[in-house]
Amino acid sequence: MNTLLQGTALHRAYGPTPALRGVDIEVTEGEIVAITGPSGCGKSTLLHCLAGIMRVDSGSVRYRDQDIGLWSESARSKLRRTEFGVLFQFGQLVPELTAGENVALPLLLGGAKRREARKTAEEWLDRFGVAELADKLPGAMSGGQQQRCAVARAMVTEPRALFADEPTGALDVLTGEQVLGEIVRVARERGMAVVLVTHEAQIAAYADREISLRDGALDPTGLGLRTHA
């Protein structure tokens, strides 16, 4: 399998606070990788750097063997729009737009025709079991329904990689499981890679592989052991 994303010696600090201290990570095409570790260990920072949302202080992020740190902001923005999908814990839908309009948005930004975008958006809403919400505003939906729409929006462009940061963290257990199960099923069906950030073992178990962090560095044992193994 080909390498899709490769982060090498990634460093990133917020002022004096180091968040990543030399992380190496590789994601192959179609692979589902969980990034785990306790709160504050750098999971979200790593995800933002890999997704090209945040720049690294040093080290490189390569997408299909190209160093995206060398790209212009507009090239990175296009990469995010066309090849990547992102999903956060909550609050990503535009409140003034209906579910159908929200999901169609990435397609319209990519230059799709309105009718075509609308039709594809409806297919994706249907795939996540919320076709009947197409004309509803986010404010009129439950948390689970909103998150299903957000998933549909993140996947509607059929990105090569989906970046999901605690995507079920705000949902009740059963809804969270269903949403995650659907994400994984669709990703496998379409060969999408998924980078899944979570601090829960049960959620990480949906992935093919787990990468643990501790204090901004890889933790090969996943148990926060100092230096043996």
Which stretches of the chain bind another protein, using CB under 8 A? 177, 181, 184-185, 201-202, 204-208, 210, 221-225, 228-229
Residue 15 Cβ vs ligand ADP, minimum distance, rounded to whole Å: 6
| Token duo for residue 97 | 């737009």
Between 156 and 204, name the residue whose CB sits nearer to ligand ADP. Answer: 204
Our finding on whether 45 is near Mg ion (CB under 5 A) is: no
Q: Are 130 and 148 in contact (CB under 8 A)?
A: yes
What CA–CA distance (Å, rounded) separates 172 from 154? Answer: 21
Question: Which one of residues 31, 32, 34, 44 is an interface residue with Mg ion (CB under 5 A)?
Answer: 44
How many CA atoms, within 13 angstroms, populate the side-chain half-sphere of residue 8?
A: 10
Between 44 and 145, name the residue whose CB sits nearer to Mg ion. Answer: 44
What's the distance, CA 189 to chain centroid?
Answer: 17
Residue span binding ligand ADP (CB under 6 A) among the ranges 32-40, 55-63, 89-97, 114-122? 32-40
Residue span binding Mg ion (CB under 5 A) among the ranges 41-49, 88-96, 134-142, 217-225? 41-49
Residue span binding ligand ADP (CB under 6 A) among the ranges 12-20, 121-129, 154-162, 179-187? 12-20
What CA–CA distance (Å, rounded) separates 103 from 108? Answer: 10
Residue 40 Cβ vs ligand ADP, minimum distance, rounded to whole Å: 4
Between 79 and 197, name the residue whose CB sits nearer to Mg ion. Answer: 197
Q: Which residue is nearest to Mg ion (CB)?
A: 44
Binding mask 42-71 for ligand ADP (x = CB under 6 A): xxxx--------------------------
Q: Which residues are paired to 197 by β-bridges?
A: 35, 165
Q: Are 78 and 157 in contact (CB under 8 A)?
A: no
What CA–CA distance (Å, rounded) separates 215 from 20? Answer: 8
Partner whose footprint covers residue 113, from Mg ion, another protein, ligand ADP, none (CB < 5 to 8 Å by kind) = none
| Token duo for residue 191 | 């060969």
What's the distance, CA 89 to chain centroid?
Answer: 10
Tokens 């093919």 sit at which residue? 208
Q: 137, exposed or middle or buried, with CB in 10 Å at 0-12, 13-18, 19+?
A: middle
Question: Which one of residues 39, 72, 74, 227 is an interface residue with ligand ADP (CB under 6 A)?
Answer: 39
Binding site for ligand ADP (CB under 6 A): 14, 17, 19, 37, 39-45
Site residues (CB under 5 A) for Mg ion?
44
